[in-house]
Structure 1
Amino acid sequence: MKVPGISLLVFLACTASISALSTLPSGTLVVSKSPSPGQYESIMKAVKALSTTSTAKQTIYIKKGEYKEQVVIPLLRSPLSIYGETSTPLTYKGNTVNIKHSAGQSDGFNNDQTGTLRVLTPNFSLYNVNVYNQKGKGTQAVALSAQKENQGYYGVSIIGYQDTLLAQKGAQFYAKSYIEGAVDFMFGDARAVFYDCDIGVSAGGGYVLANGRNTSDLTSLFLVDKCRIHAAEKHSVEEKTVYLGRPWGTHSTALVQRTDLGKIINPKGWSEWSKTDQHTDNAILAELDNTGEGASGERASFAKKLRSYVPFETVLGPSYRDWVDSAYVAS
């Protein structure tokens, strides 16, 4: 099926205790539950110690522990990288740093304000940290609010229920990470790639992706590539009750390719936004070469099939190699 007005259509039819850093750069701010002199006992105290005027790259290293706080990264002039202590840098499975907070729209906040980790600066990287919004069912409650361009998330876990991950603006890259939720839990207006991630669904009846693009130009796009979408561990999810996504915006664009889809996925694959406000006329919700029990079945009439794989540069732009960590991308 041909859809006019978008260039994208050419594609349609280590040691026991380490981090991704080998050594800590000079000037690294260290966070610890038992801080030594010169270290910080909370993540926000380290964040407040960052320079907002320097253009030299800054680094925070977080030692093992549970940090019950909301973390807000302000606008900086420099790149910033935050590393969590881990035994397995290239995956989330050995992470030892947990940031936990509970806030939802039912508390009087907007989506961004509910975020456990709110990143308001570009040129940001996060490694091997688990981020939780513990508000639970019944309200929108963001774990990660990613608000600027050129942000990379590597070996992280992002866990909530509804609206877990707000990928809101610019080019963003998520690799070898874990994202969990039940309702519209990967949403926003960014140009985001999710690569080699485990996506866990904690309840049936919901939707994974909710891209918010509302214009005909390609300002927003979600690409899920070589991921795995299954029921979250220790959660019972009925077969065929979960949709890959629904169009939050009138021109919503979400693509899923080379991904393993579990039996929880409904054969239609995709849903309209609502019965009265469908948003399907200009939406591009497409797949190619997915596998698993959830990859079969007659897809929704408005769903499309990619003609070829969509490369990262289509989503992130031609200069993405300048800021994406190549260690997390297969050669």
Structure 2
Amino acid sequence: MLFLYLFLTCAPLLAHALASLPPRTSPPPNALVVRVNTTDSSEFGSLIDAVAALPTDESSQIVFVFPGIYQGQVNIQRSGPVTVQGYTTNPSSVSENTVTLVDSIPASAVGGSNDLSGTLRIHTDNVSLYNLDIRNDFGVGSQAIALSNYGDQVGVYACGLFGYQDTLLSNQGRQVYLGGWIEGAVDFIFGRLGQAYFESNTIAVKGPGSITASGREADNAQIYIFNENQVVLAPDANMTKPVVAFLGRPWGDFARVIFKSTYVTATLNPGIWSIWDPGDNRTDNVFMADWNTTGPGVPADATRLDWVTILDATEAAAFNISTAVGDDFANWVDMEFLL
């Protein structure tokens, strides 16, 4: 069903589709292997156990996960590089993922900590994730993070991130999110210090709210850049009231978010961008900007307020992957996932 929905909603971007990659259906040499209900003593029955078994050194390690649903929180925090690969016959397609990590812990149950509610938590550098669906199924009523990312040089490739409020915490470090599905309703891509680049993703709106909430609190390197993504209505959106979205609102008074060439089929508010709250605008020092925002979800009467920047083509070109994560990105980003 998700594949059909993706096909119907992603048609305008098919010309930019990623090249097909060879199937990934068997573990690489020396990989730790995870399989549901395994009876093989050399394998692990959960990703939690496999991550706990990784050596505490600087070596590069790969974890290969066979199809299945894996319950519980995973925390990656070893010092050496880690790659987690999900089994798939088509690594370039998030709709064909077969591995799901799931929990349903709200921040309200862990002392209000966003990070501690995360289904998958990254607390180290040089991590690559491929073809994993990561869910926090708590739903409405509290922040509840699917992926909590505190790592530098982290690549998230063809992964599905599912939640409602605060799905993705991109909180610090340089990160890329390429060719994936990111779903939520309220502030569902957010963080304080993260430098993140998003390309060729489907951003699925599940309820009314803002897609991004940049928590940038000072004139620092934090930035979110979105290029060639699309915004759609999630297939299981909460329709008890009209689902109208904003591209973002400022959690911090120095919020910095740029959307480029975004195709929108979900309904955007005519303001496109939002203040934080009435009486608490937080717009004094923001840079919230878009260029070439098109599609049937963009209201004909769209009127951005005076604190929003509308870029021209030349200005937009200056905001690219290097702007977000640095000129050395080719040293750690999987280039096969870039358009």
Give the counterpart of 1:293 among 293, 296, 301.
296
Q: What secondary structure does 2:324 align onto?
A: helix
8 Å CA contact retained: 2:225, 2:320: no
* In structure 1, C-alpha distance between the alignment counterparts of 2:103 and 2:236, rounded to whole Å: 21
* In structure 2, C-alpha distance between the alignment counterparts of 1:263 and 1:198, rounded to whole Å: 11
Q: What secondary structure does 1:190 align onto?
A: strand
Once the two structures are overlaid, the 10-residue window that deviates more, 293-302 or 264-273, is 293-302
* In structure 1, C-alpha distance between the alignment counterparts of 2:149 and 2:238, rounded to whole Å: 29
User: 1:210 deviation in Å?
Assistant: 0.5
The letter of the residue matching 1:269 is I
* In structure 1, C-alpha distance between the alignment counterparts of 2:265 and 2:89, rounded to whole Å: 29
Q: What secondary structure does 1:166 align onto?
A: strand
Unaligned runs of 5+ in 2: 1-18
8 Å CA contact retained: 2:164, 2:185: yes
After TM superposition, which residue ranges in structure 1, 4 or more long, deviate above 3 angstroms? Answer: 236-240
1:198 correspondence with 2:202: yes
Structure 2 counterpart of 1:56 = 59
The letter of the residue matching 2:207 is A
8 Å CA contact retained: 1:171, 1:192: yes
Structure 2 counterpart of 1:308 = 316
* In structure 2, C-alpha distance between the alignment counterparts of 1:60 and 1:32, rounded to whole Å: 11
Q: What secondary structure does 1:82 align onto?
A: strand
The letter of the residue matching 2:171 is Q
Structure 2 counterpart of 1:42 = 46
User: 1:24 deviation in Å?
Assistant: 3.6
* In structure 2, C-alpha distance between the alignment counterparts of 1:300 and 1:268, rounded to whole Å: 7
8 Å CA contact retained: 1:258, 1:290: yes
The letter of the residue matching 1:52 is T
Structure 2 counterpart of 1:151 = 154
* In structure 2, C-alpha distance between the alignment counterparts of 1:172 and 1:56, rounded to whole Å: 21
* In structure 2, C-alpha distance between the alignment counterparts of 1:210 and 1:184, rounded to whole Å: 5
Alpha carbons of 1:281 and 1:240: their partners in 2 closer, same or farther (altered >3 Å)?
farther
**TM-score normalized with structure 2 length:** 0.87
* In structure 1, C-alpha distance between the alignment counterparts of 2:173 and 2:329, rounded to whole Å: 11
What RMSD, in angstroms, separates the aligned Cα atoms of the two structures? Answer: 1.8
* In structure 2, C-alpha distance between the alignment counterparts of 1:235 and 1:152, rounded to whole Å: 28
* In structure 2, C-alpha distance between the alignment counterparts of 1:223 and 1:68, rounded to whole Å: 32
* In structure 2, C-alpha distance between the alignment counterparts of 1:92 and 1:263, rounded to whole Å: 20
User: 1:69 deviation in Å?
Assistant: 1.1
Unaligned runs of 5+ in 1: 1-13
**TM-score normalized with structure 1 length:** 0.90
* In structure 1, C-alpha distance between the alignment counterparts of 2:67 and 2:135, rounded to whole Å: 16
* In structure 1, C-alpha distance between the alignment counterparts of 2:202 and 2:107, rounded to whole Å: 27
User: 1:283 deviation in Å?
Assistant: 0.4
User: 1:240 deviation in Å?
Assistant: 7.2
> What do residues 27-59 of structure 1 show as CA deviations (whole Å, max 9, x unaligned)?
200000132230000111100110112x22100
Give the counterpart of 2:245 among 242, 245, 254.
242
Structure 1 counterpart of 2:83 = 81
